[in-house]
Amino acid sequence: MFEGLENKKYTKIELLQMKPLVLAFVGDCVYELYIRNFLITEKYRDVNDLHRKSVFFVKAKAQAHILHELEEELTEDEQNFVRRGRNAHPHTVPKNADVVDYRYATAYEVLIGYLYLSDNKERLEYILKKSIEIGRIRDESRK
């Protein structure tokens, strides 16, 4: 999905020096773009359906759930970035999000931002595909 989209490959030291909320800022964008790209290949063609489905995948509760499901598969480096993200202190929490879910969602976005900025495309693609699988299972279980 990200072919042709060139970005600077950051070193691990540069990424460790970056504030977690900066990584989350990037990760949020990458994840949302991936979800939108995924949804337009699915049966959801109506813009309202697309919006509802994208919100289902990108809301804090969903991201927190995905991260909990992925945690055992994460490398030590990934776990360290997740921990930094979970411990970051955003200035605001959306009124419709639980504080704990929001912290885990931020940690998930930090993970995505870290993988994207480190140019670890294979691992990023794996985590994003796995995230969709987890989200789909969660979606099916609510029906």
Percent of the chain at pLDDT above 70? 89
pLDDT top residue among 84 and 49: 84
pLDDT top residue among 114 and 40: 114
Tens digit of pLDDT for each residue in 22-54? 999 999 999 999 999 999 887 767 888 888 889
Scan for tokens 């949804």, then name that residue: 39
Residue 143 has what pLDDT?
54
Cβ atoms of 105 and 64 within 8 Å: the answer is yes
Q: Is the pLDDT of residue 118 over 90?
A: yes
Please report, for residues 35, 54, 72, 111, 141, the alpha-carbon distance to residue 76 in angstroms, rounded to integers and kept in the order given: 26, 30, 10, 12, 31
Phi then psi dihedrals of residue 59, to 5 deg: -70, 160
Residue 120 has what pLDDT?
93
**Beta-sheet strands, E only, within the chain:** none
Q: Is the pLDDT of residue 8 over 60?
A: yes
Scan for tokens 């950051």, then name that residue: 10
Give the DSSP letter of residue 134: H
Name the catalytic one among 28, 46, 49, 98. Answer: 28
C-alpha–C-alpha distance, residues 67 and 74, integer Å: 10
C-alpha–C-alpha distance, residues 77 and 90, integer Å: 22
119 noted as active-site residue = no
Read off the pLDDT band of 6 (50, 70, 90).
Answer: low
C-alpha–C-alpha distance, residues 107 and 58, integer Å: 13
Both tokens assigned to 107? 């940690």
pTM, to two decimals = 0.89
